[in-house]
Amino acid sequence: MIRWLRSVLSVNNRPLHDRLAALVSAAVAGAVAITGIAAYIITTVAVYNQLDGELFDIAGVTASWIRGDVESMGGLNSDALATANVTMMLVRSDNARITPPGASTVLEPTAAERAIARTQMGATARTGVDQAGTPYRIVAIPLTDGTNHYALMLGRPLGPTDQILRILAFSLLTFGLLAVLVAGAIGWVIARSGLQPIQRLTDAVIRVTETDQLEPIELGGMDELTDLTRSFNTMMGTLASSRERQRRLIADAGHELRTPLTSLRTNVELLIADERQGMLPPGARGEILRDIAAQLGEFTQLIGDLVHLSREDKVEAHPEPIDLRDVVNSSVTRARRRGPGLAFDVEVEPLYLVGEPDSLERAITNLLDNAVKFSPPGGTVTVRLIGDRLRISDEGPGIAEADLPHVFDRFYRSDKARNTPGSGLGLSIVAQTIKAHGGWVKAGRSESGGAEFTIRLPGSSIPPEEATEVTDGEGTVVLPRVPG
């Protein structure tokens, strides 16, 4: 049984439900074997104890009959003893034997019975044989007639008792094997039905591998396998969403790259043709080269934005807290150089947080560049950092209501922005960076009618050495330390 079980479990390519059925069968077989052996031993002990009790009772009654007439065995003969299905014999202390008249069966005494005859103490119960080798259950008790000491031996054949025990053993073995077979069949059915969700998962994986279609699996039940199926469907949905975003990113990137590539190719072909034929007027060659340089700058910006968006969303926390005022002021300094004819109205309050200063500066610079790009000559860009909110607004044409839900999508360009330089990824980078820092960004219209972007970042206006962290509904905030 153990060798068969090892051979079943050692085969890796055997179906799992077969191995589970084998385990169930082995477990039931072990339980049935232990129960059967225990039942057989307990029954055997009980039967022998009952038999010994009956023989001791008969021996006690018989001893009282023959004590006064030992030579004639109290008038008992073989016929009377046969009626009780017992055999009797007296063993004297000198090892002499006395049997009832007409007795044909003689029991074989042992040292234990002879000791009882000599000492007149104790009693014995054992399994022995007669002179013909027939098994008997034999008991012995002391007996005396006042002159001689005897051991009264009383025996009963074990044939009927052993027959009952053999029938019991056969019944236990038969029904035990039947129970093992039934348990194995039930275990196979239960294992097969219980592993159906795993089989569906396997079929789904095979289907995805063969067809490349990320289709969810139908849920059924409320058990752990259903949770596994639900997790698998979530993974499939995530993969499908990731694949769709990747496809859209590639398609959008290809679309955005096509226009500058076409323009760059045209300019290069003009320079090659002019090299051969001298067809360009004076000054046109320099203008084309400047156009090529601008297009290469657009390529550089677009590739840099794509690389930034391809990074993981998780931001590694900086070991030192950041004062967002420094990041905002640095971004405003860069924006002033790009919009020399614009006024910048800046008011910032301290906001301490933990994050990546370079990525935050890039995000804020993108918003300021957007404000510079759409501000009219002499316009004002307003920057306010109050509490945990940063607002950047301009006096440009603003964002149309229809465009507001899409301004943070990759490569999205409104009708007003199609002729302006840019990769169409700046606001996507802003949204990704702010989200990675545990905040959010919203787009709207300012009081002057221009665009306004609001950023919320979890932080505190209190320096970290004077504060302690707690958690609210929107993230981690910092509260003043309580002295003492």
pTM value > 0.75: no
CATH fold for the domain made of 224-309 = Helix Hairpins (1.10.287)
| pLDDT score recorded for residue 313 | 46
In this predicted structure, the answer to whether residue 139 has a pLDDT above a threshold of 90 is: yes
User: What distance in Å separates the CA atoms of residue 323 and residue 458, rounded to the nearest whole number?
Assistant: 12
Mean pLDDT of all residues in 265-282: 78
Give the tens place of pLDDT for each residue, 222-256: 566 677 777 777 887 788 777 776 776 676 666 55
Distances (CA, A) of 307 to 355, 412, 429: 20, 18, 10
322-480: CATH topology: Heat Shock Protein 90 (3.30.565)
Taking the C-alpha atoms of residue 403 and residue 412, their distance in angstroms, rounded to an integer, is 9
Amino acid identity at 69: D
Q: What is the mean pLDDT of the chain?
A: 78
Domains 1-194 and 224-309 share a fold: no
pLDDT given for residue 483 in this prediction: 35
Instruction: Quick: pLDDT tens for 445-465.
Output: 888 888 899 999 988 888 776
Predicted local confidence at residue 11, as pLDDT: 47
| Close Cβ partners of 33 (under 8 Å, ≥ 6 residues apart) | 176
For 59, the token pair is: 């021996």
Q: Which residues pair with 129 in a beta bridge?
A: 135
* Residue 386 pLDDT: 92
Q: How far apart are CA 372 and CA 388, in angstroms?
A: 24
Domain ranges of the chain: 1-194, 224-309, 322-480
Please report the pLDDT score of residue 427 as a whole number: 80
Distance CA 301, CA 285 (A): 25
Domain covering 1-194 assigned CATH 3.30.450.20 in the classification: yes
